[in-house]
């Protein structure tokens, strides 16, 4: 369980103002805050919240991972005014550690009813080293918090887990929350993901098609270090409200070992991490004197970027003779013999983009400054040329087959000595 602070800001004419009365009360008089599924009352009707500053009203309570809560505020602006009720639904909140740190779900694809969603989890250390977990399980919930299904995923390789969700033909459209739970060194960790079910999704272009997932994972091995970059004790940039703090790099891996510090002290609760954006949000605003730092691990390229590199590489292969129309999803799936070449070409494109990024100040800091970044640039140039050379050999040899083999048998026609062909005799007899 973890503490969660809910609040409401009351203003009049865009100026924070204390109302005559604000309480946690429902219109039917049964609750202030309650759990959606079980109906358990968290805050009874007419609960008085804290009023820490003008116009701000707060209430803190323990949340359970995966639970949805209904909150109802009763607002009476002035004496004798008719009460106004403001209801909201919050959650589900996902803990990423047993200390109560919450995570915003990463989107993991859009799928059509009747299709199969491939959900996957990577478990690594802060340095990006894959580690195996125990008691790995997955829970799927709809937007109302109701459990749709649970299961045990497969483990194709160390630290990598895959679960196939066979979506029902009549599955309702909407957002679905995926909660992974696993244990490492007797500590339970959680990871939050999200998928969308929609009737009109184009499955052919899906980033999370199983063929693309497998090929993208193979590409990740070629650029593995770029997809597991550790950053240690980086200082965050505060926003104006001093609740949200942003870090240099987005796309954090939800790896074990991510740590958030406030004034050099480890934060163990009261925060929410947005791994995709690289942001940390505190339940209570900090002061201008507070400093926030983090140890995290991020991936340089998003899934969409890696997919684009692969599609571009395959498009280049298709242009080499003989012209082909291979793809990753349809009836003309690229043959396995060409995949290594396509992956090398995609890796070269990824490295080329990384080299361009090293011309700018912030990416240079990952390599220890401009001088070290220049050395890395030279090394990347050599690696890129090696990948491009390997790719070029395969592309040039594409025209060599394999093709269907044909054979022409020509039978010569012979005449008796002194004989001539019919055509020759015609020319001779006609005087030509």
Cα 236 from Cα 432, distance rounded (Å): 98
Question: Average pLDDT in the 211-223 region?
Answer: 88
Reported confidence tier of residue 121, pLDDT bands at 50, 70, 90 = confident
Question: Average pLDDT in the 343-371 region?
Answer: 90
Reported confidence tier of residue 423, pLDDT bands at 50, 70, 90 = very low
Cα 235 from chain centroid? 24
pLDDT for the residue 97: 46
- Does position 240 have pLDDT exceeding 80, yes or no? yes
Does the 95-205 domain belong in CATH 1.10.3720.10?
no
Per-residue pLDDT reduced to its tens digit, 153-199: 988 888 888 899 999 999 998 889 888 888 888 878 888 888 888 88
Domain boundaries, the chain: 2-91, 95-205, 303-400
Per-residue pLDDT reduced to its tens digit, 360-378: 988 888 888 888 889 889 9
Share of residues in the chain with pLDDT > 90 (%): 32
pLDDT for the residue 255: 67
Cα 112 from Cα 166, distance rounded (Å): 11
- Does position 342 have pLDDT exceeding 90, yes or no? yes
- Does position 418 have pLDDT exceeding 80, yes or no? no
Per-residue pLDDT reduced to its tens digit, 63-110: 876 677 889 999 999 999 999 999 887 766 654 444 456 777 777 888
Share of residues in the chain with pLDDT > 70 (%): 87
What region does 27 belong to: left with phi over 0, alpha with psi -120 to 50, or beta?
A: alpha
pLDDT for the residue 424: 44
Reported confidence tier of residue 426, pLDDT bands at 50, 70, 90 = very low
pLDDT for the residue 66: 62
pLDDT for the residue 349: 95
Instruction: Indicate the average pLDDT of the chain.
Output: 84
- Does position 231 have pLDDT exceeding 50, yes or no? yes
Cα 212 from chain centroid? 14
pLDDT for the residue 12: 87
Contact 251, 302 (CB under 8 A): yes
Question: Average pLDDT in the 138-162 region?
Answer: 86
- Does position 47 have pLDDT exceeding 60, yes or no? yes
Question: Based on the number of CB atoms within 10 Å of its own CB, is 101 exposed (0-12), middle (13-18) or buried (19 or more)?
Answer: buried
pLDDT for the residue 204: 44
37: number of Cβ within 10 Å: 14
Contact 327, 339 (CB under 8 A): no
């Amino acid at each position: 369980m973890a503490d969660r602070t809910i609040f409401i800001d009351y203003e009049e004419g865009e100026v924070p103002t204390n109302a005559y009365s604000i309480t946690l009360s429902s219109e039917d008089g049964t609750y202030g805050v309650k759990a959606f599924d079980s109906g358990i009352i968290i805050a009874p009707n007419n609960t008085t919240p804290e009023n820490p500053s003008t116009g701000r009203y707060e209430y803190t309570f323990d949340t359970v991972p995966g639970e949805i809560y209904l909150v109802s505020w009763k607002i009476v602006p002035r004496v004798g005014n008719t009460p106004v009720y403001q209801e909201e639904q919050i959650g589900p909140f996902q803990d990423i550690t047993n200390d109560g740190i919450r995570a915003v779900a990463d989107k993991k694809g859009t799928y059509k009813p009747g299709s199969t969603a491939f959900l996957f989890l990577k478990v690594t250390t802060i340095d990006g080293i894959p580690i195996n977990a125990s008691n790995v399980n997955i829970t799927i919930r709809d937007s109302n918090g109701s459990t749709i299904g649970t299961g045990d995923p497969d483990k194709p390789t160390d630290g990598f887990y895959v679960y196939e969700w066979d979506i029902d033909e009549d599955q309702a459209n909407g957002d679905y929350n995926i909660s992974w739970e696993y244990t490492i060194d007797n500590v339970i960790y959680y990871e939050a993901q999200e998928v969308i079910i929609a009737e009109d999704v184009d499955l052919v272009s899906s980033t999370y098609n199983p063929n693309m997932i497998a090929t993208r994972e193979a590409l990740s091995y070629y650029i593995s270090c770029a997809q597991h970059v550790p950053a240690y004790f980086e200082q965050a940039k505060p926003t104006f409200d001093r609740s949200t703090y942003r870090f240099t790099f987005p796309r954090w891996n939800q790896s074990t070992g991510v740590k958030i510090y406030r004034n050099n002290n480890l934060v163990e609760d009261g925060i929410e991490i947005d791994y995709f954006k690289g942001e940390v949000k505190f339940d209570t605003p900090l002061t201008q004197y507070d400093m926030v730092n983090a140890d995290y691990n991020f991936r340089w390229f998003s899934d969409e970027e890696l997919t684009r590199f692969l599609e571009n590489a395959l498009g280049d292969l298709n242009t080499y003779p003989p012209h082909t129309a291979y793809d990753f999803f349809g009836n003309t799936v690229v043959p396995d013999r060409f995949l290594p070449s396509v992956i090398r070409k995609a890796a070269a494109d990824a490295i080329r983009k990384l080299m361009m990024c090293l011309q700018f100040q912030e990416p240079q800091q990952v390599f220890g400054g401009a001088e070290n970044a220049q050395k890395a640039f030279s090394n990347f140039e050599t690696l890129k040329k090696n990948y491009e050379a390997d790719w070029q050999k395969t592309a040039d040899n594409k025209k060599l087959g394999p093709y269907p083999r044909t054979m022409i048998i020509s039978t010569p026609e012979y005449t008796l000595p002194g004989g001539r062909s019919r055509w020759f005799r015609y020319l001779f007899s006609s005087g030509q």
